Amino acid sequence: MTEEQKKSLERKLWSIANELRGKMNADEFRDYILGFIFYKYLSERLNLYADEALKHDGLKFATLDETKDAEILAAVEEACLEALGYFLKPSELFSAVATKGAQPGQFILEDLTQILNNIQKSTMGTESEDDFDNLFEDLDLTSTKLGRTVEARNTLIGKVLGHLDSIDFELSNSSSDVLGDAYEYLIGQFASGAGKKAGEFYTPQQVSTILARIVTTGKERLRSVYDPTCGSGSLLLRVSREVSHVGDFFGQEMNRTTYNLARMNMILHGVHYRNFDIKQDDTLEHPQHEGMKFEAIVANPPFSAKWSANKLFEADDRFSEFGKLAPSSKADFAFVQHMLHHLDEDGTMAVVLPHGVLFRGGAEGAIRQFIVESKNWLDAVIGLPANIFYGTSIPTSILVFKKCREADNVLFIDASSCFEKGKNQNNLRDSDVDRIVTTYRERKAKKRFSHKATRDEIAENDFNLNIPRYVDTFEPEPEVDLAAVTTELQRIESEMGEVDETIRGFCGELGLEAPV
């Protein structure tokens, strides 16, 4: 698929999504369109797999009779549950429902609701049960936001399914990820219209790319990648694009709807159900991956979120060695401590945080000092431009951590001016991303852009990591040539004298008093 064809597909999908908009806000109609696309993906993926399994018998899965061919279907179901983790009957395939919905007077809402429930039921008692549990719970087909009457809702859903059915997602092309790319595009589009809520499920693609390239530096394969605030899972998937192979994906997400979106996103990008483990709960209060270590960790936690900071956590292995808990009003360092606890000895961790974590005092200052002075885990501090995240205009930073560091310095990068001004927010360009990542990887000091600060230098600054303390971006004003300025003023004064003389001549001819 060419780039233009890809763009055309994205525009078509966005147009279909907007048919659902009605009175719904961005995050509501997002759940419907992405859910329907996911159903289409599950259906077509299973149909392709079943056809391949039946090829030697000269059969096609979609044409099997569910009564006469019950024995064959049972064998296909067993194989699908093992390979794919779910099952659909021929009558439950997306194309069959879309075809029925296109016929006048045919109602599909009850059928569709039952089919989505059946997908979940097919996984019960299998290894994939947790990955499909309540996956479609946000697709409420009885909602009046889809239409005031059953007929109106049925017509709208039938129309949307029909449009989607006409699109070829090229699932048979193993080298293409057309659907995955389109899904990411839609998630980004919804984020741009979701305001403050966007930060709950989406990290801008260019920022994700920086994080992904940093944690994969020098590596072609990863055993594991983890995101403790994974949102839609896009950041985890971005990491996989930077290496040839990722063994397993792990994540945790507190918001139920976003958790569902993350699981869909994993499956839709071809991540096998055995190779991802996404949990739903509060990461700080109820961590779900205790005892595990990860080779790569990436995160964009909610900025300065509140948490309990319960005294009981002082004995928690995640926080105990630091001697301090992050303040209850700002959980930024609590997330850092949690992630460091899960970072493997040969791993790299990159996290997006507000600038305040670089210089705030109290418990946060003590935690910073422990990380730099006692552990030498801080590898780099990267300052990003303001207004590049959805829902907030504050400047942010990327902190990079490694446990097995030979370097006795911290690389500071000031990328605050690396952006292109957009209509509603600033954007990092590809060239900006390349410049930041290259500077990190080469670990070079560059005038007014980067600086390698020794730990002694950081100690002299009382472990304040504010970037201007280390990267001098001051550009002096050009020197003024006073002699040249004087000459120019004399020239202007001479010319003004000539102009005044001309004006006095005109006034004399007109019998007017000349201005003084």
User: For residues 396 and 502, which has the higher predicted lDDT (pLDDT)?
Assistant: 396
What is the predicted pLDDT for the residue at 398?
97
What is the predicted pLDDT for the residue at 24?
72
Residue 200 has pLDDT above 60, yes or no: no
CA distances from 452 to 127, 167, 435, 457 (A): 49, 52, 16, 10
Residues 80-128 pLDDT 10s: 999 999 999 999 999 999 999 999 889 999 999 999 999 999 999 999 9
**Angle between helical axes of 109-122 and 26-54 (0-180°, round to 10):** 60
- Asked if residue 347 lies in contact with residue 373, where contact means CB atoms within 8 angstroms, the answer is no
Window from 4-13, 331-340, 441-450 with minimum mean pLDDT:
4-13
For 95, the token pair is 């194309």
Residues 206-243 pLDDT 10s: 999 999 999 999 999 999 999 999 998 999 999 999 99
pLDDT band at 176 (very low <50, low <70, confident <90, very high): low
* Separation of alpha carbons 71 and 50, rounded Å: 14
Reduced to 3 states (helix: H, G, I; strand: E, B; else coil), residue 147 is: coil
* Separation of alpha carbons 430 and 204, rounded Å: 13
Phi and psi torsions of 380, nearest 5°: -160, 155
- What is the DSSP pairing of strand 343-354 with strand 294-299? parallel
pLDDT band at 272 (very low <50, low <70, confident <90, very high): very high
- Asked if residue 96 lies in contact with residue 62, where contact means CB atoms within 8 angstroms, the answer is yes
Window from 200-204, 328-332, 409-413 with minimum mean pLDDT:
200-204
Helix or strand holding residue 222 (H, E): strand 221-227
Residue 423 has pLDDT above 80, yes or no: no
What is the predicted pLDDT for the residue at 274?
95
Residue 351 has pLDDT above 70, yes or no: yes
CA 183 to chain CA mean position, Å: 12
Residue 194 has pLDDT above 60, yes or no: no
Residues 6+ positions from 389 with CB-CB distance below 8 Å: 199, 203, 204, 207, 396, 425
Q: What is the pTM of this model?
A: 0.87
For 161, the token pair is 């399914």
Residues 440-494 pLDDT 10s: 999 999 999 999 999 999 999 999 999 999 998 655 666 777 888 888 888 888 8
- Asked if residue 345 lies in contact with residue 376, where contact means CB atoms within 8 angstroms, the answer is no
Residue located via tokens 């991303």:
433
Residue located via tokens 């001004």:
421
What is the predicted pLDDT for the residue at 483?
81
Sign of the dihedral defined by the CA atoms of residues 228, 234, 235, 237, in that order: positive
Residue 22 has pLDDT above 80, yes or no: no
Residue 66 has pLDDT above 60, yes or no: yes
Read off the pLDDT of each residue in 413-441 and give the average, rounded to a whole number.
89
CA 496 to chain CA mean position, Å: 63
Residue 188 has pLDDT above 70, yes or no: yes
Window from 11-25, 227-241, 259-273, 313-327 with minimum mean pLDDT:
11-25
* Separation of alpha carbons 28 and 42, rounded Å: 22
- Dihedral angle at the C-alpha atoms of 266, 272, 278, 279, nearest 10 degrees? 130
For 292, the token pair is 């595990």
* Separation of alpha carbons 164 and 167, rounded Å: 5
Percent of residues, the chain, with pLDDT higher than 70 = 94
What is the predicted pLDDT for the residue at 296?
98
What is the predicted pLDDT for the residue at 198?
47
pLDDT band at 281 (very low <50, low <70, confident <90, very high): very high
* Separation of alpha carbons 20 and 3, rounded Å: 27
* Separation of alpha carbons 412 and 410, rounded Å: 6
Residues 6+ positions from 230 with CB-CB distance below 8 Å: 236, 251, 252, 253, 262, 278, 299
Reduced to 3 states (helix: H, G, I; strand: E, B; else coil), residue 286 is: coil
| Helix-, strand-, coil-residue percentages of the chain, each rounded to 5 | 50, 15, 35
Residue located via tokens 């039921």:
121
- The residue among 270, 214, 219 whose CA lies nearest residue 243 is 219
CA distances from 5 to 9, 320, 371 (A): 6, 54, 49
Residue 247 has pLDDT above 70, yes or no: yes
- The chain-wide mean pLDDT, for the chain, equals 90
Half-sphere exposure of 409 (CA within 13 A, CB side): 14
Reduced to 3 states (helix: H, G, I; strand: E, B; else coil), residue 431 is: helix
What is the predicted pLDDT for the residue at 201?
58
What is the predicted pLDDT for the residue at 117?
96
Domains observed in the chain: 3-192 (1.20.1260.30), 197-469 (3.40.50.150), 482-516 (no CATH)
Percent of residues, the chain, with pLDDT higher than 90 = 68
Residues 117-158 pLDDT 10s: 999 999 999 999 999 999 999 899 999 888 899 999 999 999
Cα angle at 471 between 465 and 474, to 5 degrees? 130
Identity of the amino acid at 476: P
